[in-house]
Structure 1
Amino acid sequence: MSKFFAVFQNFDIIEVTKIKEIKYYERNHSSQLTAHSSQLTAHSSQLTAHADYVIGRVFCQALKQAFSHFCEKAFYVEFSELSLERNGELQYA
């Protein structure tokens, strides 16, 4: 009976040691995952900011081009109308 008890006790020691190792690994792994998660969040924020910047630049560029095109048309019509004016009358082509 004492031999069986010793084996059983030894088994318990091994199991407790394994459980401690697993818990240590889980704590370690959990903190690593938390660190990686924080890094991913930071990278995600950077990418979002960069995307917002790029979209803003592209959108602003499109607005600038549209406004420029509008101004060209508006001022071109006025300029061409003024250049065609003769004797106080507008001459349309």
Structure 2
Amino acid sequence: MPSVTMNRQARDVTLSAAAVETADHRQADYFRRILVQSRRQIEHRLGEYQKAIVVAEAAGDAEGADGLRRMARSEERECKTLDGMIENLQRRFPHRPRPAAR
């Protein structure tokens, strides 16, 4: 027996401008949360790199410290990229408080 949803033709769906705007804002909020979470993870790794750099330097491992610094710089570039994406989302879709649940 074929699935009910298979072979069903798409219907013309017309959404109000308010519904479209609400959907856009919800999606922007979702992506903003994902980007902020990714940034926090990077900040955590940067902290770990800084600790590891101190340990490597104290042990006289200049080559290891340099490698860790390169990795940290890469993470810092990623942070800047994420910051730009977050700022662009914020500018295009300013955060709106959600209506209280009834």
Structure number, greater radius of gyration: 1
Bigger RCO of structures 1 and 2 (CA < 8 A, at least 6 apart): 2
State the TM bucket, normalised to the shorter chain.
0.3 to 0.5
User: Structure 1-normalised TM-score?
Assistant: 0.46
- Name the one with the larger helix percent: 1
User: Structure 2-normalised TM-score?
Assistant: 0.42
